[in-house]
A and B are shown apart, each in its own frame.
Chain A
Amino acid sequence: MTDATTENAPYAFVRRETLQQEPAPLSVAGPLAWIRTNLFSSPLNAILTLLCVWLVVDTVPGMVRFYFLDAVWTGTNRDACLADKIGRPVGACWAYVADRTQYFIYGSYPVAERWRVNIVFVMFALGVVWLLWNRAPLKKVGVFFFFVIMPASAFILLLGGDRAESFLRFLILVTFALAVLYLVLSFVPSLMTFWIGEGQLAVEEAMPAWQRFYRPKRLILMALVIFGILALLADRVGLPRVDTGLWGGMTVTFLISAVGIVFSLPLGVLLALGRRSKLPAIQLLSVIFIEFVRGVPLITVLFMANTMLPLFVPQEWSPDRLLRPLIGVALFAAAYMAEVVRGGLQAMPKGQYEGAMSLGLGYWQMMRLIILPQALRIVIPGIVNTFIGLFKDTTLVTIVGIFDFLRTIEATLIDPTWATPTTRSTGYAFAAIFYFLCCWGMSRYSIAVEKRLAAGQKR
């Protein structure tokens, strides 16, 4: 056969004589080889490389000079940053940022009351770390903390005044009543026969009293302690009302993001379940809501919340000016969250649903115990990405007149105290760094989670 092809065929592709030996290849290791393969592999590449290097050399030293070498770091008013006052070229005016940091963080929140904001910041950070850090213990307690206790305490602490205090009293009453109820039930479990059935009761009765309802008790205990501390604070130090018009800066930015995530996630899960539901009316309503919200820009939703919401409720209930965009943002984020969660639900193999049903679980038990824990875990990166978008979108509340972080920057730029030619670039650079660090950090987290989730599938 080989003979036939090599000897007789008119178009043989097989070479008959040996080639000249090629020279040894150029070095394939070391810095020179790296430069050759990565920077100058072809004439076009060489030109592009030189062009890029020129671009970097042209811009970077100027920026370094402006933002670091020529920058002014200390000072109390605009004179520190004026070139003719200090007799040298002036770059970024970081003194202005240092001077206004308090305003950027708290807005016009009264100075004497800012400790309340700090407590909320700490709680928020605690909740975020608790939920996002993989090895944090007691995740379920953490979820309860982040989605129930923290929002309630933040409302009480940030707003203060009569309404917050009566709300606090109500919360304490409810948790206390629940605590008493659980206490009674754990000593006299037979009270619950009508509720949990004979079989379950037998299991409960076999346990020692302190172990019964261990989980709910932890939640109630935590709620009692935290609300108790708040009540103590309200009693000793006093929580005077701080009008929402005074809130501003990063406080409001974080507040909007937190409200967005706390309300959009549960709402998004419900909408996603609704969209995958077999009941036509529920499915239709979910689809209409999701597609409607995703089809319009956030600004129109904010305008709607701002102008139409007050019309839709009786006048005495007219929502607070800060509450309106919060509702808009939460609903907007929920629609996007629903699509992310739906992706997770669709990625679940059918066997999971069938397995759960064959165990005799009802719809909500199946979702709560089998499907959602798995589905939500695989969409954590998607949730974080949605949240990054939400965090960036919080800047839009500026347009409906809320003093978020970006608005406080804009406000200080008009202020004559720091009116210098370089104030604007400094303020924008500071805002850019703030948003970049937050968003970039979150995206790093989501990539890390993605890697961890993919680790199981890797071969």
Chain B
Amino acid sequence: MSSIPSEQVSPGKASLFYDPKIRGYVYQAALVAIVVFLIWSAASNAIENLRAQKIASGFGFWHNAAGFDINQKLIPFSASGGSTYGDAFIVGLLNTLLVAGLGIVLATFLGFFIGVARLSNNWVISKLAMIYVEVIRNIPLLLQLFFWYNAVLKPLPNPRQSIELPAGALLNNRGLYLPDPQLGPGGSLIVWAFLIGLVATFVFRHWARKQQAATGRQYPIGWVALALIVVLPLLVYFVTGRPVSFIYPELAGFNLRGGIQIFPEFVALLIGLTTYTAGFIAEVVRAGILAVSKGQTEAAHALGLRNGPTLKLVVIPQAMRVIIPPLTSNYLNLTKNSSLAVAIGYPDLVQVFTGTVLNQTGQAVEVVAITMAVYLTISLVTSLFMNIYNKRMALVER
């Protein structure tokens, strides 16, 4: 090395081969060329294969009539009523959003409860919470879904021997039947009262907070909320002469008629997703609370705050900063995991669209691309919103 005479090394004249900039361009050009080639050859192969198998391409199938029925639907859908594959897509999408939305709410409550329980001073509670988390997190979700669906809900008695639950609800192997509330004349007033109560609560809370900030006086927000949201509609209910009647499910032949039927597939999926994700959320919550230094709690106690206000005003607001990012990814995981519905036959987007529609039309490329686009959109939109929220919650430093 040292034997190289110094006049040979002239910094400006290094060969192009060793110029990092040029090399960078070459590498990128090569990579882009490979990717373009892969995409091009895949596309040309696909076109040829599709032609050989006589499968149509394009999105024309969207408006074709779908020759199948779906049991759980939030919008009208029937094969005989001329519903299209596009309608099937919307039914599936709504079912996915329904189970994901409910699952997120329930899993959050359960997860927070278990996460706090794991940190409890109470030995029995913290150990039980630990066992729950360890067991739930280390068993595949699919197995848990099979368990809930095949081992818990399927062996329930048939409709003739339905289990009677309180308030006229019935439980059997075809699902959970709830009484169907019917609003009589003046019944809509109750709904309005409830909505007004909800709005009034928010207004009052806002006002009370402002008052507290200005004068230091505290108002009983909880009691007022209870009065506005629960007592007000009840009052209207009695004043208008109890205009709500129920249609109870009753036996007709081998099946039940009337009432709201909640399908066992939905129940199994909801229970499975909720309990599974709650195990993960519990760990997130625990980590978040542990991340708040003990000095914060001690300082709050030194100021004379009791345990409850300390948790509510000091610990949780700081823990939320740590909790929110992983909580978001758990919400997204739950949404993506709802696609396991296909294994137990809940008509979600994947089961309806990537399952039935794909089998009927054979248009794999279009169907899978649409499905993936939906999940991708949900993921990106959620992370966008969470990033905004996260920015608002983030520590403001100098």
Q: Which residues of B contact A411 (CB under 8 A)?
A: none
Q: Which residues of A contact B336 (CB under 8 A)?
A: 296-298
Q: Are A296 and B124 in contact (CB under 8 A)?
A: no
Residues of B within 8 A of A (CB-CB), count: 53
| 24 A-B pairs with C-beta separation under 8 A | A45-B121, A49-B122, A49-B125, A52-B125, A52-B128, A279-B28, A292-B372, A295-B375, A297-B350, A299-B339, A299-B354, A300-B339, A300-B371, A311-B46, A312-B42, A312-B45, A314-B45, A314-B48, A392-B139, A398-B142, A406-B142, A406-B143, A428-B146, A428-B151
Find chain A residues with CB under 8 A from B46 CB: 308, 311-312
Give the contacts of A311-367 with B (CB-CB under 8 A).
Answer: 311-315
Partner among A41, A393, A432 whose Cβ is within 8 Å of the Cβ of B121: A41
Cβ of B35 < 8 Å from any Cβ of A? yes
Residues of chain A within 8 A of B123, CB atoms compared: 38-39
Q: Is A221's CB within 8 Å of the partner chain B?
A: no
CB distance from B83 to the nearest CB of A (A): 23
Q: At the interface, yes or no: A103 with Cβ under 8 Å from chain B?
A: no
Given contacts A281-B31, A308-B368, contact A432 B376 (CB under 8 A): no
**A295→B379 contact, CB < 8 A:** yes
Residue pair B379, A294 in contact (C-beta under 8 Å): yes
In the complex, what residues of B have CB within 8 A of residue A425's CB? 151
Q: Is B98 an interface residue, CB under 8 A from the partner? A: no
Cα separation A98 to B350 with both chains bound (whole Å): 36
Closest Cβ of chain A to B230, distance in Å, is 24
Q: What residues of chain B lie closer than 8 Å to A300, measured between beta carbons?
A: 339, 350, 354, 368, 371-372, 375
Contact with B along A420-438 (1 / 0, CB 8 A): 0000110010011001100
Which residues 371-401 of A have a CB within 8 angstroms of B? 388, 392-393, 395-396, 398-399
A49→B124 contact, CB < 8 A? yes
Query: If A311-B45, A311-B46 touch, does A282 touch B151 (CB 8 Å cutoff)?
Result: no
In the bound assembly, the distance between CA atoms of A28 and B136 in angstroms comes to 36
Assess whether B380 is interfacial by the CB under 8 Å rule.
yes
Q: A68 on the interface (CB 8 Å rule)?
A: no
Residues of B within 8 A of A295 (CB): 375-376, 379-380
- Nearest CB to that of A436 among chain B residues? B138
The 0/1 profile, CB within 8 Å of A marked 1, for residues 127-149 of chain B is 01000001101111111001100
* CB <8 Å contact, A435 and B45: no
| Shortest CB distance A195–B (Å) | 16
8 interchain residue pairs of minimum CB distance: A307-B364, A295-B379, A281-B28, A297-B336, A439-B138, A312-B42, A38-B123, A392-B140
Q: Chain A 83-124, CB within 8 Å of chain B: the 1/0 string?
A: 000000000000000000000000000000000000000000
Given A38-B122, A53-B124, A199-B1, is A303 in contact with B368 using a C-beta cutoff of 8 Å?
yes
Check A143 for interface membership: any CB of B closer than 8 A: no
Chain B, residue nearest A305 (CB): B368
B371 neighbours in A (Cβ, 8 Å): 300, 303
In the docked arrangement, what's the CA distance between A280 and B336, Å?
30
- Residues of B within 8 Å of A398, CB to CB, are 142, 343
Is A77 an interface position by the 8 A CB rule? no
Asked if A440 and B134 make an inter-chain contact with CB atoms under 8 angstroms apart, the answer reads yes
Flag whether A125 is at the interface (Cβ < 8 A): no
Whether A410 is near chain B, meaning CB under 8 Å from some CB there, is yes
Beta-carbon contacts under 8 Å, B20-56 to A: 24, 27-28, 31-32, 35, 41-42, 45-46, 48-50, 52
Question: Which interface residue of B35, B45, B52, B124 has the most chain A CB atoms within 10 A?
Answer: B124
B247 contacts the other chain (Cβ, under 8 Å)?
no
Enumerate chain B residues within 8 angstroms of A196, measured Cβ to Cβ: none
Nearest opposing residue in chain B for A413, CB measure: B150
Residues of B near A177 (CB, < 8 A) are: none
**B172-201 interface (Cβ within 8 A of A):** none
CA distance A428 to B145 in the complex (A): 11
Interface contacts beyond A296-B375, A312-B42, A396-B142: sample of 10 additional A-B pairs, CB < 8 Å, sorted by A:
A53-B124, A282-B31, A285-B31, A297-B375, A300-B375, A303-B371, A304-B372, A307-B364, A311-B365, A395-B142
Q: Which chain B residues (98-142) contact chain A, with CB distance < 8 Å?
A: 121-125, 128, 134-135, 137-142
**Could you tell me the distance between the alpha carbons of A331 and B173 in the complex, rounded to whole angstroms?**
40
Among candidates B24, B45, B122, B139, residue contacting A39 with C-beta atoms closer than 8 Å: B122
Asked whether B97 is an interface residue with its Cβ less than 8 Å from the other chain, the reply is no
Given A39-B124, A295-B379, answer yes or no on A399-B368 (Cβ-Cβ < 8 Å).
no
Q: Smallest Cβ distance from A53 to chain B, in angstroms? A: 6
With an 8 A cutoff between CB atoms, is A37 at the interface? yes
Residue of chain B at shortest CB distance from A283: B28
B 367-388 binary contact with A (CB < 8 Å = 1; else 0): 0100110011001100000000
Contact B31 A307 (CB under 8 A): no
Quick check: is A310 within 8 A (CB to CB) of the other chain?
yes
Residues in B whose Cβ lies below 8 Å from that of A392 = 139-141
B337 within 8 Å of A (CB atoms): yes
**B52, B139, B340 interface centre (most CB from chain A within 10 Å):** B139
> Smallest Cβ distance from A405 to chain B, in angstroms?
10
